[in-house]
Structure 1
């Protein structure tokens, strides 16, 4: 099947005050982010529909090495750009994405999931959704092209899509970007902040990941407790650190929230890491994959990975527990298995060495720090 992408970049950008398509974003432009998501997600080719300030937009399109098509009727609204873009599609199109240029934060993993699902089981329309709310871009079957071209434009593309709702599907994804419009300068400021943090999930995306992975509620509460503890000990380490890099609190928090996302599965740490990497959250996937046990060179500074590892060892469910008692409970469980008991003892020793390194650097006992902070909050 051949799936193509249409990026609608013909609008006036009146509320933004600047041409949206060419605003800087994530090392490129708003337009290049849209194109990259579609191509990286599996679109065979992307066509950019231009209109307002076409020469400037087409100059960027040429740099990206893709195709553009001019819509002379762009002032009539977005549907005219949809028609222009559809006319440019090759005859072998099986389906096509429609992505307005002011939705530049869609993850390529979302496009990839939609492409895979459509190839496996075609439907008239496949929508990305975030926690049940539909977003952009819809993936539309080429079967609808004749009907779209014959439409009088009233109600725009949405009118056609609504008629086919009974043969459409939603694909839930942990991708808040599918809902983020870039209409105002304030929206652009949010997009800049979001794009800098794309390698790890935002809090709302963590909640969506729990839902998708069917993480038990009790496990979610444990993860929240570990995240709170991890942030507390990271803040103390940053305050005490004289040399070496300061740790990123956002990475610590999101990794801790996600560390047991796949808890119901065997080898849950590895599966959780793979799950996150598959969704594009590579900034925390390795931390999650190694939270059960961790090794660090004695001369290497403590990182976000060790903060999540340590915090996890101090919580049994949502209750504080000492490192010693945590491993005693595990050891009792496997007391009749000498090989398992040996492995647990080795992990305990590594954890105690790591704890000693932390407390030596901060001059603070973690159990005291967590007891004080958790009780007063």
Structure 2
């Protein structure tokens, strides 16, 4: 099976007030940590979306092995990053696995289990709820091309248009860094 990984890193970090992708995390940047995780998952193609802080990210983050997709409409929400990136998905792809660039605590084993799910749409079921990564089968990719706004994948997940498989994952939903408090929790040892 040919699987494309997509790391969303185009946001402007409005709530945080600085480029969260470049925040220090365990001796590197937050985005470097997430891309290292993504590289370890064995994707056949790895895409990363950039937008708000594209220039400094290109200067400071190791993008080796990644195909960069620039999203000029990054301020309209992550839906625009997904709809832009889906155009770059290799035509051989059987599935697309979506990761957040500001969520380095996701475990590679969970990514692999979601990627292997035989379902049009799959999502991790953590102890405290659903969370990334998401898996979209080839039959869902056309729907991704039409996404817009924020929380667009969650709306698609809940739309009932495609069967959804929940893949068990240990522990709580990993921290998604949107605010300074989120970042401080991550640094204090949250996942």
Q: TM-score range by the shorter chain?
A: 0.7 to 0.9
Match for residue 144 of structure 2? 148
Match for residue 4 of structure 1? 4
Q: Given the two structures, how large is their TM-score scaled by the length of structure 1?
A: 0.47
3-state SS, counterpart of residue 80 of structure 1: helix
Cα distance, 1:42 vs structure 2: 3.0
Correspondence 1:264-283 to 2 at 5 A:
none
Cα distance, 1:61 vs structure 2: 4.7
- CA–CA distance in 1 between the matches of 2:148 and 2:80? 10
Unaligned stretches of 5+ in structure 1? 199-377
* Match of residue 138, structure 1, among 134, 139, 146: 134
Match for residue 183 of structure 2? 188
**CA RMSD after TM alignment:** 2.3
- The 3 A distance-change label for structure 1 pair 8 and 135 is same
Correspondence 1:336-351 to 2 at 5 A:
none
Work out whether residues 97 and 140 of structure 1, in 8 Å CA contact, stay in contact via their aligned partners in 2. yes
Q: Which has the higher helix share?
A: 1
- The 3 A distance-change label for structure 1 pair 88 and 165 is same
Residue 100 in structure 1 maps to residue 96 in structure 2: no
Work out whether residues 32 and 64 of structure 1, in 8 Å CA contact, stay in contact via their aligned partners in 2. no
Q: Deviations over 1:50-75 (max 9, x none)?
A: 11021112234555442211011111
Q: Which has the higher strand share?
A: 2
3-state SS, counterpart of residue 82 of structure 2: helix
Q: Which has the higher contact order (CA 8 A, sep 6+)?
A: 2
Q: Given the two structures, how large is their TM-score scaled by the length of structure 2?
A: 0.88
Match for residue 89 of structure 1? 89
Cα distance, 1:175 vs structure 2: 3.9
Q: Answer with 1 or 2: which has the greater Rg.
A: 1
Number of equivalenced pairs: 191
- The 3 A distance-change label for structure 1 pair 189 and 132 is closer
